[in-house]
Amino acid sequence: KKKIAVMTSGGDSPGMNAVVRAVVRMSIHMGCDPYCVYEGYEGLVQGGNFIRKMEWNDVRGYLSEGGTLIGTARCMAFYERPGRLTAAKNLILNGIDALIICGGDGSLTGADRFRAEWPSLLEELVSTGQLEAKQVEPYKHLNIVGLVGSIDNDLSGTDATIGAYSALARVCEMVDYIEATASSHSRAFVIEVMGRHCGWLALMAGVATGADFIFIPEKPREDNWKEEMRQVIRKHRDWGKRKTIVIIAEGALDRHGTKITPEMVKDLLADKSGLALDTRITTLGHVQRGGTAVAYDRMLATLQGVEAVKAVLEATPETETCVIAITENKIVRKPLMAAVQETKKVAKAIEAQDFDKAMSLRDTEFSD
């Protein structure tokens, strides 16, 4: 019987539980034994009770739970070869030959590295006497499949990451709450949302709530943005709008690479010689991650979890490691490393202030 393990890694995102549920139940449905690795790569390195066999009923109720019930962690040991060597040993000792990982680009990079190193890890386990040759013999190939769990919707090659639409829904709900009080007092609010290299949450929340002005990392405003923002907001106020909402992605920059801070924007809105608005700052923070998954994320996680198990069962030693994506409403398999590398290119372009490149990379991604 094939043993398939599932784990969640990196930042938690709504929908990760639905992934675990889908993988566990699809594995059983296909006649395999499912396992959960608790606490991400940390659990893989620790072994023991962190790796547990799962039954159908163990994941009951998982669809409507937020966060990840099997835990996640940032694991320093897995960045180093000795940590990955112990992880390989733990997998073999548990008889696991396939691993489905739900996480962000870091987790998926770690997964690919682990898979690429696998043969040499086995050699080392045998040559150092930790395992016998006949023990490792059935585990020549580690079968890895990635699923993208992230609230940022930042992975290239997929239209939606698991958790992004839940976070977007939460941001919109919070902006609605803020709008009620903003309108009552005729105030302005500067709202910071998550997104270090990806403006998707800020942009979509801005569209969905009718924000007055938005700042995202990939497309900085022109140098005259202060004047532009004043004019836009003045116009909206002249039209009778009693509230002002400005949304800033946490990684937003100006064209020269200077961070656009909520304080900076607040000072401009409050400036007595300009708009003179009574202005407050709200940093949404971790509420964006919390709460239950919206229906879309539950559906996406379930369909992708099912596809991940199918990919594991169909893989041959020659198959390239894949990530399960959604493109134009279809669940598809894509090469894992290409998706991660494209994602990293966007982050690098933003860091190098090559914003045209960042946007064109996002454009190709949107059009592919």
Binding-site residue ranges for substrate: 150-152, 187, 194-196, 250, 280, 286-289
When asked if residue 79 is in the footprint of ligand ATP (CB under 6 A), the reply is: yes
When asked if residue 97 is in the footprint of ligand ATP (CB under 6 A), the reply is: no
The backbone region for 353, taken as left when phi is positive above 0, alpha when psi lies in -120 to 50, beta otherwise, is left
Smallest gap from Cβ 13 to ligand ATP, in A, equals 7
Binding ligand ATP (rule: CB under 6 A), the pick from 46, 150, 288, 302 is 150
Smallest gap from Cβ 38 to ligand ATP, in A, equals 14
When asked if residue 104 is in the footprint of ligand ATP (CB under 6 A), the reply is: yes
Tokens of 286: 């971790």
- Which one, of 48, 117, 43, lies nearest residue 80 by Cα? 117
Q: Give residues 44-73 in contact with ligand ATP (rule: CB under 6 A).
A: none
CA 11 – CA 78 distance, rounded (Å): 16
When asked if residue 35 is in the footprint of ligand ATP (CB under 6 A), the reply is: no
When asked if residue 11 is in the footprint of ligand ATP (CB under 6 A), the reply is: yes
When asked if residue 113 is in the footprint of ligand ATP (CB under 6 A), the reply is: yes
Sign, Cα dihedral of 158, 163, 169, 175? negative
Q: Is 213 exposed, middle or buried (0-12, 13-18, 19+ CB in 10 A)?
A: buried
CA 4 – CA 322 distance, rounded (Å): 16
- Tokens 């930790």 — which residue? 130
Tokens of 362: 């996002």
Measured at CB, which residue is nearest to ligand ATP?
Answer: 106
Binding ligand ATP (rule: CB under 6 A), the pick from 3, 47, 65, 106 is 106
Interface with ligand ATP by CB under 6 A: which range of 7-15, 117-125, 132-140, 302-310?
7-15
When asked if residue 146 is in the footprint of ligand ATP (CB under 6 A), the reply is: no
For the annotated binding site for ATP, the residues are 11, 74-75, 104-107
Nearer to ligand ATP, 59 or 162 (CB): 162
Q: In the chain, count of helices (H) and strands (E)?
A: 12, 11
Binding ligand ATP (rule: CB under 6 A), the pick from 10, 15, 146, 163 is 10
Binding ligand ATP (rule: CB under 6 A), the pick from 103, 195, 199, 262 is 103
| Beta-sheet strands, E only, within 250-356 | 279-283, 322-327, 330-335
Question: Do residues 23 and 56 touch, judged by C-beta distance below 8 A?
Answer: no
Nearer to ligand ATP, 92 or 340 (CB): 340
Nearer to ligand ATP, 11 or 251 (CB): 11
**Residues in contact with 208: Cβ distance below 8 Å, sequence separation at least 6, in sequence order:** 168, 172
Binding ligand ATP (rule: CB under 6 A), the pick from 4, 6, 9, 217 is 9
Active site residues: 152
> CA 84, 16, 175, 212: dihedral to nearest 10 degrees?
60
CA angle, residues 345, 351, 354, in degrees to nearest 5: 75
- Which one, of 1, 135, 147, lies nearest residue 68 by Cα? 147
When asked if residue 213 is in the footprint of ligand ATP (CB under 6 A), the reply is: no
- Per DSSP, the three-state class of 124 is helix
Q: Give bridge partners of residue 231 from the DSSP assignment.
A: none
For the annotated binding site, the residues are 11, 74-75, 104-107, 150-152, 187, 194-196, 250, 280, 286-289
Interface with ligand ATP by CB under 6 A: which range of 3-11, 133-141, 170-178, 183-191?
3-11
Nearer to ligand ATP, 75 or 294 (CB): 75
Smallest gap from Cβ 350 to ligand ATP, in A, equals 15
Interface residue list for ligand ATP (CB under 6 A): 9-11, 41, 74-75, 78-79, 103-107, 109-110, 113, 150
